[in-house]
Structure 1
Amino acid sequence: MPKNNSIKSVLIIGSGPIIIGQACEFDYAGSQAALSLKDEGIEVSIINSNPATIMTDKVIADHVYLLPLTVASIEEILKERKIDAVLPTMGGQTALNLAIEAEERGIWEKYGVQIIGVDTAAIEKTENREAFRQLMVDIGIGVAKSKIANSFLEGKEAAQQIGFPLVIRPSYTLGGYGGGFVHKKEDFDAALSHGLQASPTHEVLIEQAVIGWKEYELELLRDNKDNVIIICSIENFDPMGIHTGDSITVAPAMTLSDRCYQDMRNQAIKMMRAIGNFAGGCNVQFSVNPEDESIIAIEINPRVSRSSALASKATGYPIAKIAAKLAIGYNLDELENQITKTTSAYFEPTLDYVIVKIPRWNFDKFKGANTELGLQMKSVGEVMAIGRSFIEALQKACQSLEIGRAGLGSDGKQNRNIEDIMHKLEHPSWDRLFAIKDAFRMGVPLESIRKVTKIDRWFLNQIQELATLEQELKRYSLNNIPKDFFINMKQKGFSDIQIAWILGNVTEDEVYDRRKELGINRVYKMVDTCAAEFPAKTPYFYSTYDGENESIPSNKKKIIVLGSGPNRIGQGIEFDYSCVHGLMAANEEGYEAIMVNCNPETVSTDFNMADKLYFEPVFWEHVREIIELEKPEGVIVQLGGQTALKMAEKLHEKGIKIIGTSYSNMDIAEDRGRFSDLLKDLNIPYPKYGVAETAEEAIEVAHEVGYPVLVRPSYVLGGQGMSIVINDEDLEKAVVKLLGDLPGNRVLIDHFLDRAEEAESDAIFDGDDVHIIGLMEHIEPAGIHSGDSFAVLPPFNLSANVIAKMEEYTDKIARALNIRGLMNMQFAVKNEDVYVIEANPRASRTVPFIAKAYDVPYINIATKIMLGTKKLKDFKIERKLEGYAIKEPVFSHHKFPEIQKELGPEMKSTGESIRFIKDLEDPYFIQLYKEKSMYLSK
């Protein structure tokens, strides 16, 4: 059936601010869907409150509404614009819940809008735990023994019938919120109360616990003719008991027998057809008994999910893009394979490589948090790696995590405490994978590890082989390693720095030079969806040490953009937004734009966003060899946050051109001590400070500058490790911990300006002119990290004198640092005095916010200035903001009810929203001040 030509205008509902359980995978899905519909000549409107997304950019949709995700906002849009259909399946649980609420209020019917991509009956069947259980029983699909409860008494009765251990699963929640395992009777009452409160319908499913069973996911697509295809099978490395968002996952499934896979496949298709009459994407989760391979269904999600983004990047099959076309009437056999351009979309991808996803946590931001993993998702992001084998992909994923590891162990950071290791195996947290490797190094038998972890023997065998190879390598010196053995080490994912550490007394560069002498070179393979059966048109590559190189460099001028890696607190989707605009700008200026990144949730790793995509770790060895192959004009590090910026020193050492601000000038800004010296030379006010490399030096400095003091390291993002202390004892503890966590770092001790206001500026400098993108005033006082503060654009309560000083200091510092492109400045204001706190010579969290508020493509402008192809005078910049824009931080503290919620100098927010007000009399603004115990002085 061809597309439904009655649909001429579609509203896509976004997912709002990033929270734990709902991250930027929905920005990717929404962006793909919008572009897919625009290709069909459909007018696309988007509602989303997140300013940091590409989805809310005018390059994606015809009309963008940066409004709160409420029914009132929906109705406001429908009054203004004729909308024929709404697509709610691209915005996670937030979008689905909003679509249901709007339907219950009769909004869609009132304005003649049809829901496409899913129907509310299907949502009800999948989100209502009892309805889902009953449906599975009716169609003959196995489920765990369970009972629904709508009250405390019903819950107690259900527990008595089912017995312990059991699982509590609240209805209509995201990321497993409110759910969990209950192993003992005495823990049940509190867990039940929490689950009932977490569910918006005050309903929970109490279910038999199948802890230790294997867990799998299938990603499916279904069209209007009831054709269903399996896009990807995904196996969880971690057994049942850990939320899939917190599990290491592998694609395709590694330990599944063909018989069991066919049974699972048939059951998934049966489930998808049973939930309702809809066309689009679907995620189905199963549990398999490892003893007899009996299967039970866990849940089904009739929308794109976190796993959909992973499956899309793993296979090259653009699930959201195709799902959007199915939603407007197309069938699978009417659409083309986006990778080959010659075959149909009605096919199931074939993988001749292995994908590994590892979640990224930020427990360091939540002091006192329960870090044990369970049914409630706690990770803030994830990385994906591609290799020819599971173990190669696993090592590459470890290198991608941005946690200072060079792979899976073998890097000097091993745990040698056997009791601690065994505890970590039994109580899974972020580092259990590394504890498994450490256990093998310490000689713990495989079967002992399996009994404790319940992880499949096949996976454990793979990790054990790494420990064996490490011991075998120690028999050699660098100059007598047999070539075949060296190749085997590289094929197993060992980085040069790991090999150097194992050998001892050699450097990473020496290992690199030796393997080059032996002719052991990294090659690049293409992701083509069809295991090379058909030629691919899309340049989408991963590296390995097997076979011929398929990435042939062109003769064009090239620019490489380094991405921001996994999302985490302090470095989120705003940097992916920046990278995407950087790619577009480079392309517009005639360069071949090349992307390097490892985050499967992002738009930057979409196969058609860059001229060439390397889905690789943003890790020095990988970046170095891509540069050697492609020989670009230069590398952009300003757009990928601290991940990309920390590559600057290596690039500088190797003589590789950095596009934009030079390394030496970036180093002045990043090194807290050098930057403060610069402020002194420029006669710009700054808090009294000193630099320390030991706790003793820190105490001396604190006595000199005076308590309270702000303690902070250099070269970090999101206020990592920053704290305010008021005495010697607390200072000593803070500095010792900092230097332990960040060895070799220098600690800056600033006098803390108590009861000061905070403000910031973002600017672009082209070598001649400075353009201040925006000045923002914070609601919260100094001492609260800028990422956790409400920020108002333009300033509302700063005097003309203060604003003039901020502008003057921004100009002075931009020129002194010889910035090319972007710079963010942060100030403390006290008694009309303006103090400079820091300068960041890169894209910041606030640039997308300002760009959306003023409707100016600032990243695009800054990139062209970095490239040297344009000057500020070449742009006509017109700001369109009427009134004020407010950046609202959003937190995920509900995931950690046990922690202190108090904010401080270390950032804790996971995302943000934007809110527009016409004037300062707006009730929202007045209430904001009331809640913050502040007042507005006119």
Structure 2
Amino acid sequence: MTDLHKILVIASGPVGSAQPATSTAETDLTCRRLVEAGKEVIVLTSNPNIFRSHDKHIHYYITPLTTEFVSQVVRRERPDGIIASAGGQIALNVIRAISKNGLLNQFGVTVLGTSPEAIEQTENGEKFRKFLRHQHIPTPESSYVDNAQEALTTAGKIGYPVLMRRGQSRSIARTPAELSSTIDSSVGGGRILIERSISRFKSVQMVMMRDAQDTSVLLGSIESLDPVGVNPANTVVFAPAQTITDRDRTTLRAAARAALAALNIIGCATVSFALDPQSNDWYMLKIKVGLSWTSSLIARATAYPVAGVNTAVALGERLDAVMIGRDHSMTAAIEPGIDAIIARFPQFPRELQTGARLGPQLVAGGAIMTAGRTLESVIMQGIYLLGHDDKRVLSSEIREWDEDTITGHVIQANALRLPALWLALERGFTVRELSELSQINQVFIAAIGRLVDCLSELKTSKDVALLRDAKNFGIADSSIAEVWNMEEDDMRAQRIAAEVTPTYKALDALGLVLPETPTYYASYETENESEPTNLPGVVVIEPNGAAPWLNSAHEAISSTMLAAIREAGCTPILVGSTPRPLVYPGVKHYLLGATQEHLLDIIGLENPIGVICQTAGREGSRIAHVLRRRGITVLGSVPNRHGNRVAPQLQETLTQLSNEDWRICYDPAAAADQMATHLAIDAVADGETVAVLGILNSLEQNESRAGKVIAVTPPRKGAAKMSEQAAAVTVALAKQLQYVGFVHLDMVVSGNTMTVTFIGPSASATVPFLAKTLRIDCIALACHVLLGGKLAEKGISSGLLPQVEGVHVLLPVLRSGLTMAGSSVASIEQMGLVMGSDQTLGKALIKAFAAEHQPLSDHGTVLLEEGTKAGAALAPRLANLGFQIVGMDAAKTLEGVSLIVMDKPEIELRRRATARMVPLLNTVSADAILQVYEARAFALAQLAELSD
């Protein structure tokens, strides 16, 4: 489409319970392909972790991904074309809405790729099921109804169990009582889908690519560990599918091709199927248009550049004319092969790794990926990564489970199912018994059984052949050392002496696609496909923390750091288990957990000039100390493990900084002061100069840490003087501690007392957000100093870096998570972050909540905290704007409540608000927002009475 010059890309928004988002990497790859095609690109996103390119042909808007705001950008920029296939569910929702309201026709904007009409057919459940029936494609019996009574009647006809979908809620009901309960607690409203549950069927997904000339290829197949009924993003999945036959594969591929052709879907699409394990029956369940986590997984597994090809065919190119690979020697019309097994494991915050039931509702907050030659190795790596322990497979708490507890975890899909299966096999359960209890295919359980047997055999044998088998199964040195009752270093030396050492294999579609950013996995075969480059190497550690939302922020930092390392003339070497696509050419990625064993093996092969650990957050600090003990160069400062030793030194410096305006001290315990103003400061230092990236002010009193609460920059309260002093404190302390690299500092301000509660050399989750508020590339600055440069060489002096105008709000995206035993209210889980920017705090807050898809209404019912001075001051202002005010009696159900204003809500109220997606504001934020509403409100009053 050579006549299209300016293309608007709707990028990824926040991850939500029923709104999975694509990786920010997909947006970047899409934009790169558009620029290569000679296009000017406009990117819309609300994600602070988005990669920002230096390419002058790419322009960014930080804006809520809603119909209103996207429409404003369309009117302003007048693009020739628009791409929604890179932005996940939210982008699809927006494109459907703005195509229906006539905006695209009005301005002559072409939707590139799949048409809005086809997207509507796949996204509208009723239309999709009609389409399947018209095409004679098998699909489970289902019906849409308008109310709970009709739902109960329909379920009775279909037969329990049934799948219920309504709004953003998904659940399986096994009885009428369960169905009534799930409908009552559903979020989002709308018609109710009742569908026959096929929960014992295999869950298989086929990732396809199709062009406008009806050439379509199967990029890869994915199979879930758990059967249908558990959202594939909530469970372990494997690529390629492990238990389907060639006949199954051919049948499903043909059905997918026929469906895509009938709908005229152009680009990437994922087609979901259910296969009866006891017959040849199958059903098509869903077609998801565009890029998603499934396409990311296949892109990594096969080296097929899915995002780039998806963009090329959206622009009208033929698959057989699109050339892929590092040397552009292979056509995109191939069906890529794979000579390894890839697994994707869902991540849950550690406190949620319990027996809480997993179902069709998306509750996983992140994912990790493993690769290997054997099914055993990818499962074993996942168990280690999820347990954050490569020494003991099972925790002492799990080993204390009795038989009833084990059976319960095996029967019910939950985050502890893999450990439960392992323990059950150790306790004498058979593979067949466990398969019948769990409905998990025997192939997967048998693989776990071979791991259990291998570790058992190692207890009585140190045979080299058995050791090699154990390593090919992914069993860590630390686990073997534990079994052999010896130190890990001694075990490692013994393994190396026996010539049992890893080789690294590339994921390259059986050698057909040479990737620009190669990914390697460990094997114990003879040929090593990874060779050091001629350039000096720098290893970057990626996180695998217990809080998945933190991973996204640190992944954004490390990914941008890789580009800066490349620009500096070095080879970036990434070590981590990220499932997202790699963006920058010239990067080498070892798809392994950053354990001591793997790092020593990789460093021994690559001989890098150093390792950057600061990008991995707290996990990076632990790794840095391990490497330092080994004499390996860690680039940048490492946190002092005995912070109390430097406290007197810090206090002396802070006393010297005190003046008549500010008393400054150091006290970690002050972080618990909820009444104080909480600040978070990020900086980059070289030991002499300290560049302050920005200062965030937390706007909530229940939690001090920016990133977990609503925060704003520049700080709201006494912004100028307070910011100036906070920056001065950061500069002084970082200089004294001679920090190199990233620096993070927390402090609280109460009256004229400024108390430092934490300072350490690490990149915090707020760095990507602050990077969007700067006029300079702070990640490139950090890379420069980590590689030994000085900030003065870049013309940087100590103090606050130049900021862009406006007020910028960082908002945590909270969604309902797992429901714990004994509770009827789901837990709160942070899924990510969004940001809103404008000229005032109120407008920035309104944008941030719109970006989170919890828009703040300018009318409706407000639950207002009673008996407080702040609440009493807000009440008449709310009433004047037409809000109806209710008290705490409404807190039990939140029925009809559209907004909560409260400074110290109880956790149960927060959970109910999160489950019902009711925005919750404190009085400070409410005041700022009301100022916006009042400024645009018109006077409304009765006519004055006539005088006598």
Q: TM-score, normalised by structure 1?
A: 0.85
Whole-Å Cα distance in 2 between the matches of residues 535 and 845 of structure 1?
A: 34
Contact 2:207 2:218 in 1 (8 A): yes
Secondary structure of 1:560's match?
A: strand
Whole-Å Cα distance in 2 between the matches of residues 401 and 684 of structure 1?
A: 45
Aligned partner (choices 322, 331, 336) of residue 323 of structure 2: 336
1:934 maps to 2:931 = no
- Per-residue CA deviation, residues 333-391 of structure 1 (Å, 9 max, x unaligned), is 0011225631111101111111111111126169xx98211111111111111101111
1:891 maps to 2:891 = no
Contact 1:407 1:494 in 2 (8 A): no
Q: Partner letter of residue 818 of structure 1?
A: Q
Shift of 1:237: 1.3
- Distance of aligned partners of 1:645 and 1:61 in 2 relative to their CA distance in 1, 3 Å threshold: farther
Aligned partner (choices 534, 539, 545) of residue 560 of structure 1: 539
Whole-Å Cα distance in 1 between the matches of residues 332 and 680 of structure 2?
A: 49
Contact 1:567 1:573 in 2 (8 A): no
Secondary structure of 1:853's match?
A: coil
- Per-residue CA deviation, residues 600-631 of structure 1 (Å, 9 max, x unaligned), is 12x5x34x444322222222211221111000
Aligned counterpart, 1:278: 265
- Per-residue CA deviation, residues 312-336 of structure 1 (Å, 9 max, x unaligned), is 1111112111001100100100011
1:786 maps to 2:786 = no
Aligned partner (choices 892, 906, 917) of residue 838 of structure 2: 917
- The within-5 A match list for 1:356-505 is 356-362=343-349, 364=351, 371-401=356-386, 403-406=388-391, 408-409=393-394, 414-476=399-461, 481-504=462-485
- Distance of aligned partners of 1:520 and 1:340 in 2 relative to their CA distance in 1, 3 Å threshold: farther
Q: Partner letter of residue 51 of structure 1?
A: P
Aligned counterpart, 1:524: 504
Contact 1:279 1:327 in 2 (8 A): yes
Shift of 1:203: 2.0
1:642 maps to 2:618 = yes
Q: Partner letter of residue 371 of structure 2?
A: I
What is the CA RMSD across the aligned residues, in angstroms? 2.9
Contact 2:818 2:827 in 1 (8 A): no
- Distance of aligned partners of 1:451 and 1:832 in 2 relative to their CA distance in 1, 3 Å threshold: same
Aligned counterpart, 1:212: 200
- Per-residue CA deviation, residues 902-930 of structure 1 (Å, 9 max, x unaligned), is 99xxxx53222222222457595799996
Aligned partner (choices 650, 664, 672) of residue 679 of structure 1: 650
Shift of 1:267: 1.1
- Distance of aligned partners of 1:648 and 1:31 in 2 relative to their CA distance in 1, 3 Å threshold: same
Contact 1:122 1:302 in 2 (8 A): no
Aligned counterpart, 1:863: 783
Whole-Å Cα distance in 2 between the matches of residues 925 and 86 of structure 1?
A: 26
Whole-Å Cα distance in 1 between the matches of residues 846 and 94 of structure 2?
A: 25
Aligned counterpart, 2:225: 237
Q: Partner letter of residue 616 of structure 1?
A: L
Shift of 1:269: 1.1
Q: Once the two structures are aligned, what percentage of the paired residues are identical? A: 24
Shift of 1:411: 9.3
Contact 1:14 1:26 in 2 (8 A): no
Secondary structure of 1:348's match?
A: coil
Q: Partner letter of residue 461 of structure 1?
A: A
Whole-Å Cα distance in 2 between the matches of residues 471 and 75 of structure 1?
A: 63
Q: Partner letter of residue 421 of structure 1?
A: I
Q: Partner letter of residue 26 of structure 2?
A: A
Aligned counterpart, 1:596: 575
Shift of 1:879: 2.8
1:36 maps to 2:36 = no
Whole-Å Cα distance in 2 between the matches of residues 498 and 412 of structure 1?
A: 18
- The within-5 A match list for 1:130-279 is 130-170=126-166, 177-195=168-186, 197-199=187-189, 202-274=190-262, 276-279=263-266
Whole-Å Cα distance in 1 between the matches of residues 645 and 533 of structure 2?
A: 41
Aligned counterpart, 2:886: none
Name which of structure 1's ranges 789-798 and 438-447 shifts more when overlaid on structure 2.
789-798
- Distance of aligned partners of 1:901 and 1:19 in 2 relative to their CA distance in 1, 3 Å threshold: same
Secondary structure of 1:788's match?
A: coil
Whole-Å Cα distance in 2 between the matches of residues 412 and 470 of structure 1?
A: 20
Shift of 1:14: 1.6
1:85 maps to 2:5 = no
Whole-Å Cα distance in 1 between the matches of residues 846 and 299 of structure 2?
A: 41
Aligned counterpart, 2:747: 827
- Distance of aligned partners of 1:672 and 1:365 in 2 relative to their CA distance in 1, 3 Å threshold: farther
1:326 maps to 2:317 = no
- The within-5 A match list for 1:670-749 is 671=642, 673-674=644-645, 676=647, 678-683=649-654
- Distance of aligned partners of 1:925 and 1:349 in 2 relative to their CA distance in 1, 3 Å threshold: closer
Whole-Å Cα distance in 2 between the matches of residues 469 and 924 of structure 1?
A: 56
Shift of 1:816: 2.9
Secondary structure of 1:292's match?
A: coil
Q: Partner letter of residue 574 of structure 2?
A: M
- Per-residue CA deviation, residues 294-319 of structure 1 (Å, 9 max, x unaligned), is 11111111221221111111111121
- The within-5 A match list for 1:598-677 is 598-601=577-580, 603=581, 605-606=582-583, 608-661=584-637, 663=638, 666-668=639-641, 671=642, 673-674=644-645, 676=647
- Per-residue CA deviation, residues 41-71 of structure 1 (Å, 9 max, x unaligned), is 11111101111221x5545961100011122
- Distance of aligned partners of 1:119 and 1:818 in 2 relative to their CA distance in 1, 3 Å threshold: same
Contact 2:352 2:818 in 1 (8 A): no
Q: Partner letter of residue 537 of structure 2?
A: K
Secondary structure of 2:550's match?
A: coil
Q: Partner letter of residue 887 of structure 1?
A: L
Shift of 1:634: 0.2
Secondary structure of 1:555's match?
A: coil
Q: TM-score, normalised by structure 2?
A: 0.84
Contact 1:31 1:60 in 2 (8 A): no
Shift of 1:216: 0.5
Aligned counterpart, 1:14: 11
Whole-Å Cα distance in 2 between the matches of residues 474 and 349 of structure 1?
A: 41
Contact 1:823 1:840 in 2 (8 A): yes
Whole-Å Cα distance in 1 between the matches of residues 782 and 102 of structure 2?
A: 46
Whole-Å Cα distance in 2 between the matches of residues 76 and 36 of structure 1?
A: 25
Whole-Å Cα distance in 2 between the matches of residues 291 and 512 of structure 1?
A: 46
Aligned counterpart, 2:524: 545
Shift of 1:24: 6.2
Shift of 1:498: 0.9
Shift of 1:760: 1.8
Contact 1:218 1:233 in 2 (8 A): yes
Contact 2:20 2:88 in 1 (8 A): no
- Per-residue CA deviation, residues 232-271 of structure 1 (Å, 9 max, x unaligned), is 0111111122111011111111111111221111111112
Aligned partner (choices 756, 770, 775) of residue 690 of structure 2: 770
Shift of 1:851: 1.3
Contact 2:355 2:415 in 1 (8 A): no
Shift of 1:823: 0.7
Aligned counterpart, 1:809: 729
- Distance of aligned partners of 1:468 and 1:894 in 2 relative to their CA distance in 1, 3 Å threshold: closer
- Distance of aligned partners of 1:899 and 1:584 in 2 relative to their CA distance in 1, 3 Å threshold: farther
Aligned counterpart, 1:310: 297
Whole-Å Cα distance in 1 between the matches of residues 834 and 101 of structure 2?
A: 25
- Distance of aligned partners of 1:411 and 1:492 in 2 relative to their CA distance in 1, 3 Å threshold: farther
Shift of 1:805: 3.6
Whole-Å Cα distance in 2 between the matches of residues 584 and 623 of structure 1?
A: 21
- Distance of aligned partners of 1:97 and 1:577 in 2 relative to their CA distance in 1, 3 Å threshold: same
Aligned partner (choices 563, 571, 577) of residue 556 of structure 2: 577
- Distance of aligned partners of 1:672 and 1:432 in 2 relative to their CA distance in 1, 3 Å threshold: farther
Shift of 1:768: 1.5
- Distance of aligned partners of 1:648 and 1:386 in 2 relative to their CA distance in 1, 3 Å threshold: same
Shift of 1:563: 1.2
